[in-house]
Amino acid sequence: MSTLPADEAAPRTKLTVGIVDEARDGERRVAASPASVRALVAAEHTVIVQSNAGIAAGWPDKEYTDAGAVIAGSTAEVLKQASVLLCVRGSGAGAATWTGVGSSHILAGLLDPLGEPATMKKLAQSGATVFAIDLLPRITRAQPMDVLSSQATVAGYKAVIVAASLSPRLFPMLTYAAGTIPPAKVLVLGAGVAGLQAIATARRLGANVSAYDVRAAVREQIESLGARFVDLADVAAGGEDASGYATGADEAELARQQEALAAEIGGSDVVVTTALVPGQRSPILVTAAAIKAMKPGSVIIDLAAERGGNCEGTVAGKTVEIGAVILVGAENLAATVPQDASQMLGRNLANFVLHIAKEGDINLDGDDPIMQGTLVARDGKVVNERVAGLLDAPAPASSSKASS
Ligand code: NAD
């Protein structure tokens, strides 16, 4: 009798992966694209997609069946058949969507566990095994699954497009028969993934771009995109942890930073703010006084709105006028570019499934940093220490969200 080569003989976990229609208001993304379905089916997993789950992203059911998926008529049907449930932002999807999630399920998506620890507790109590892909460690091996980066890229791009459409100014310099129009001045605060994409997009539109970040290491990246680095050399405002994240500043440091940035803000036609500190309320970088000093018609897009915002006066999900300045509390901008955002997200999530299922049973007790980093709940309990800490802490102001 012939034997299989060792790698083919290794047991492989075959999964039934379910994709539901996202119930959250304004959520137009879907957790699988036809291409990501193809990748899962090629690895011999079964994929069940709820009818019309991809329609808002531009993918009718037929595109999924052509890719090898099976269509289910309802969320309940998906939950009944699937062992792995992929979602976009499950925690906000509403209780109705997750009625029926239980101990037979593995749930994975952008669950915002540090922002919504109570929802994690509820999900844990269902008995489901829960992976929050937004807790993925920022290591090279995890890059193909990095949902935060893929969605931040889309949001950074769209922030500039929204700003350009609201601004009374043209972005590029234009020379015409009667003279020259100077380029718009765009300031980007926070130059992580979203900020760098905002810089690149504003540059492509021809704007004169400046950018600032507390992490001095990004200076080179800002300059390589053709933007000016705003050097606040005398203002310490927190540091950087081993993963490359900002660690947050104290109040005195932030006050110095706000003051030093005010002149830059006042000279800008457009400000895009993207500054985040993981697990904390986002820092206020743009004060009410700085907004008051801006030129009439100036536009601010606050991408940190869902984490409390980087500007005094930001209201998440709303556009407000402060004097003659327009302040957009951008909420879930990636969902406004649903096809390409879902294309990237779908591949990230499929790569995660392929990773956890690559050999034998899914091993929740192994030392794989990707699984250990993202595992939030199992066997009825919240197992992630940071999320458990937030649940134990009395009303953590640091994880508060602005209401829309
Ligand atoms: P983020 O969304 O947490 O924060 C956005 C930016 O805000 C960061 O650049 C941060 O330094 C900045 N910020 C915080 N407080 C600020 C303040 N007071 N003033 C000005 N700026 C402030 O960050 P992110 O975009 O997710 O990326 C953070 C880091 O992770 C970057 O170094 C990035 O290159 C790195 N990264 C690594 C990988 C990987 O290796 N797989 C993947 C993605 C990102």
Q: pLDDT for 139-160, tens place per residue?
A: 999 999 999 999 999 999 999 9
Ligand 1: atom nearest CA of 142 is 41
Read off the pTM: 0.90
Which of 145, 221, 245, 344 should be mutated for ligand 1, with most atoms under 8 A from CB? Answer: 245
The mean per-residue pLDDT over the stretch 204-209 comes to: 98
The mean per-residue pLDDT over the stretch 90-107 comes to: 73
Ligand 1 site residues (CB inside 6 A) read 138-140, 142-143, 146, 148-149, 152, 189-195, 212-215, 237, 244-246, 249, 257, 274-278, 283, 285
Residue 57 CA to ligand 1 centre (angstroms): 28
Residue 222 CA to ligand 1 centre (angstroms): 13
* pLDDT band for position 316 (cuts 50, 70, 90): very high
* pLDDT band for position 81 (cuts 50, 70, 90): very high
The mean per-residue pLDDT over the stretch 175-189 comes to: 97
The mean per-residue pLDDT over the stretch 37-66 comes to: 97
Mean pLDDT for the chain overall: 89
* pLDDT band for position 283 (cuts 50, 70, 90): very high
> Which positions are annotated as active-site residues?
138, 143, 146, 149, 245
* pLDDT band for position 4 (cuts 50, 70, 90): very low
Which of 274, 306, 307, 333 should be mutated for ligand 1, with most atoms under 8 A from CB? Answer: 274
Ligand 1: atom nearest CA of 149 is 43
Ligand 1: atom nearest CA of 152 is 25
Ligand 1: atom nearest CA of 278 is 3
User: For atom 15 of ligand 1, which residue has the closest CA?
Assistant: 275
The yes-or-no verdict on residue 401 having pLDDT over 80 is: no
User: For atom 37 of ligand 1, which residue has the closest CA?
Assistant: 138
- Which percentage of the chain shows pLDDT scores above 70? 88
Query: What pLDDT score does 84 carry?
Result: 95
Q: SS3 sequence, the chain?
A: CCCCCHHHHCCCCCCEEEECCCCCCCCCCCCCCHHHHHHHHHCCCEEEEECCCCHHHCCCHHHHHHCCCEEECCHHHHHHHCCEEECCCHHHCCHHHHCCCCCCCEEEECCCCCCCHHHHHHHHHCCCEEEEHHHCCCCHHHHHHCHHHHHHHHHHHHHHHHHHHHCCCCCCCEEECCEEECCCEEEEECCCHHHHHHHHHHHHCCCEEEEECCCHHHHHHHHHCCCEECCCCCCCCCCECCCCCECCCCHHHHHHHHHHHHHHHHCCCEEEECCCCCCCCCCCCECHHHHHCCCCCCEEEECCHHHCCCECCCCCCCEEEECCEEEEECCCHHHHCHHHHHHHHHHHHHHHHHHHCCCCCCCCCCCCHHHHHHEEEECCEECCHHHHHHHHCCCCHHHCCCCC
The yes-or-no verdict on residue 360 having pLDDT over 70 is: no
Query: What pLDDT score does 7 carry?
Result: 45
